Amino acid sequence: MNVLIVYAHPEPTSFNAALANHSAEALRADGHEVVISDLYADDFNPVAGRHDFSTVADPDRFHYQSEQALAASKGSFSDEIRREQERVLAADLLVLQFPLWWGGPPAILKGWFERVLAYGFGYVDGARFDTGLFKGRRALLSVTTGGTTARFGPEGVYGEVDRVLWQTQRLTLQYMGYTVEEPFIAYGTPRIGDEGRKGYLDNLASRLLDIASKPVDRGIRPTDPLALVSENAWAKQG
Amino acid sequence: MNVLIVYAHPEPTSFNAALANHSAEALRADGHEVVISDLYADDFNPVAGRHDFSTVADPDRFHYQSEQALAASKGSFSDEIRREQERVLAADLLVLQFPLWWGGPPAILKGWFERVLAYGFGYVDGARFDTGLFKGRRALLSVTTGGTTARFGPEGVYGEVDRVLWQTQRLTLQYMGYTVEEPFIAYGTPRIGDEGRKGYLDNLASRLLDIASKPVDRGIRPTDPLALVSENAWAKQG
């Protein structure tokens, strides 16, 4: 299986880094291909803008989706975006490894969604959720949090995990068609000690090996997603 | 009332810009003070890092909260962060104006939360939710979305608005102690025409004037939030 781990933490000695690296080693030892996109190390720019493209659809008014649609049809995304898109395209399994900051992924990862998973690449009108372009593939969130399990329980102040991760799991990954695996969450990481951290490292590795043994189908995605959309449908659906 | 509008859209002629500007005009005409933080125009950097600080707590290992705590105690946040923190501190009402991208705020705004609402400024251990530092103040999300109302209904594919906005309303604003107003959402904005847009502009203005007439209390916030936290409590709670 081809696996892409998108990893978003500024500190190379962090527990997040350990989780990303340990996952990659375990998967490789099991015969899988693994690529890590290390967003902080790559100095990934999370801000959407004209620098995303070498083409211009409208020089007077910046409409992001229109510029993305043109770039998807012309192959005119910036090198940084194209590299990430090629990695996403090659991956049967997408793993997002990040610390929960203000209840969600760090901005550097949120901006990776916005810029890389562009209109015409990540989604098009009329191909979402059950008909999403990445149907047949799997995705997993692997998250660390300072909060305890109880805080994310039915009575917890943060709300249940499904609600906390809704934006990323439902409105990003499932929206694109991915089958989203039960999220892996390392709770209370500042206070669990080496033993606790080792337990999480091992559990994540075994979760990943299990997921990597499940069936996937990378062949569903159309080679030209924009061909699915008539001008008409786009104008109607916006 | 003092109002801060944090506005996150790359295009100055967008409907988001119109909403931000119309809101500011309506509030000013009613006698309120309004400041707009225009994140794209200001070229706000959403990536957390050592550039946030002129001090260093640990040169060998970057632990973001520890660096934020030190900067809060020394007054050593970067100029950009300090300016935004002063605006937040002065505001009775915080309005976040943004388009829903992948179900949430654009990365540039997510990074504003991470960098500006720092540990020691936006929150400290032992002062969250009902005891949050910004208790007594109000906040409103004003959001545009291409999706229709039905998609956000109980049976809608995107899920209900409360769930979609949970990360920002519950785990960011309420976490800090804000009273979060019912969100203002402009649905299906690419397809509502000038008439529809005018309706939303007027409705938002009248919502804001109504909110601005409600009681607030800026005086609750302690001048030194870090004094609330003993070293002990911090070590225990992480």
Give the H/E segment covering residue B99: strand B93-99
The phi and psi torsions of A45 (rounded to 5 degrees) equal: -90, 115
Partner B contacted by A117 (CB < 8 A): yes
The C-alpha atoms of residue B109 and residue A10 are separated, in whole angstroms, by: 19
Rg (CA), chain B: 18
Partner B contacted by A233 (CB < 8 A): no
SS3 label, residue B97: strand
Reported confidence tier of residue B233, pLDDT bands at 50, 70, 90: low
Q: pLDDT digits over B66-121, tens only?
A: 999 999 999 999 999 999 999 999 999 999 999 999 999 999 999 999 999 999 99
| Cβ pair B140, B112 in contact under 8 A | no
Percent of chain B with pLDDT over 90: 90
Give contacts of A 60-89 with B, CB under 8 A.
61-64
- Structure tokens given for A226: 């924009």
Of the candidates A102, A110, A117, the beta carbon closest to that of B107 is on: A110
Burial class (CB in 10 A: 0-12, 13-18, 19+), A232: exposed
Partner A contacted by B175 (CB < 8 A): yes
A-to-B residue pairs, Cβ atoms closer than 8 angstroms: 144
Of the candidates A40, A48, A171, the beta carbon closest to that of B103 is on: A171
**Which of B42, B57, B56, B114 is closest to B85 using CA atoms?**
B114
Residue A223's domain spans which residues?
2-237
Burial class (CB in 10 A: 0-12, 13-18, 19+), B220: middle
Query: How many domains in chain B?
Result: 1
* Other beta carbons within 10 Å of B161: 20
The C-alpha atoms of residue B221 and residue B208 are separated, in whole angstroms, by: 23
Stretch B181-189: mean pLDDT, rounded? 97
Average pLDDT value over all residues in chain B: 95
State the pLDDT at residue B230. 64
Q: pLDDT digits over B144-183, tens only?
A: 999 999 999 888 999 999 999 999 999 999 999 999 999 9
Of the candidates B62, B107, B146, the beta carbon closest to that of A47 is on: B107
Tell me if B166 and A171 make a contact (CB, 8 A cut-off). Answer: no
The C-alpha atoms of residue B114 and residue B238 are separated, in whole angstroms, by: 17
**How far off is chain B from A25, nearest CA to CA, in Å?**
23
Q: What Cα–Cα distance (Å) separates residue A103 from each residue in A220, A233, A237, B14, B130?
A: 33, 35, 31, 28, 18
**How far off is chain A from B91, nearest CA to CA, in Å?**
20
| Cβ pair A192, A15 in contact under 8 A | no
Within 8 A of A40 by CB-CB distance, chain B residues are 47, 49
Within 8 A of B129 by CB-CB distance, chain A residues are 157
Mutate to test the interface with A, among B101, B125, B167 (most CBs of A within 10 A): B167
Mutate to test the interface with A, among B60, B160, B171 (most CBs of A within 10 A): B171
Residue B235 has pLDDT above 50, yes or no: no
The C-alpha atoms of residue B198 and residue B192 are separated, in whole angstroms, by: 10
Residues of chain A with pLDDT under 50: 232, 234-238
The C-alpha atoms of residue B84 and residue B98 are separated, in whole angstroms, by: 17
Residues β-bridged to residue A185: A143
**Which of A134, A125, A210 is closest to A174 using CA atoms?**
A134
Stretch B34-55: mean pLDDT, rounded? 98
Give contacts of B 147-166 with A, CB under 8 A.
157-159, 163-164, 166
Mutate to test the interface with B, among A66, A167, A174, A187 (most CBs of B within 10 A): A167
Rg (CA), chain A: 18
Tell me if B104 and A46 make a contact (CB, 8 A cut-off). Answer: no
The phi and psi torsions of B66 (rounded to 5 degrees) equal: -65, -40
Q: Three-state SS across chain A?
A: CEEEEEECCCCCCCHHHHHHHHHHHHHHHCCCEEEEEECCCCCCCCCCCHHHECCCCCCCCCCHHHHHHHHHHHCCECHHHHHHHHHHHHCCEEEEEEECECCECCHHHHHHHHHHCCECCCEECCECHHHCCCCCCEEEEEEECCCCHHHHCCCCCCCCHHHHCHHHHHHHHHCCCCEECCCEEECCHHHCHHHHHHHHHHHHHHHHHHHHCCCCCHHHCCCCHHHHCCHHHHHHHC
Task: Tokens 């890092």: give the residue.
Answer: B49
Residue B237 has pLDDT above 60, yes or no: no
Within 8 A of B62 by CB-CB distance, chain A residues are 10-11
Q: pLDDT digits over B115-155, tens only?
A: 999 999 999 998 999 999 999 999 999 999 999 999 998 88
Domain containing residue A193: CATH number: 3.40.50.360
Complex ipTM value: 0.96
**How far off is chain B from A199, nearest CA to CA, in Å?**
19
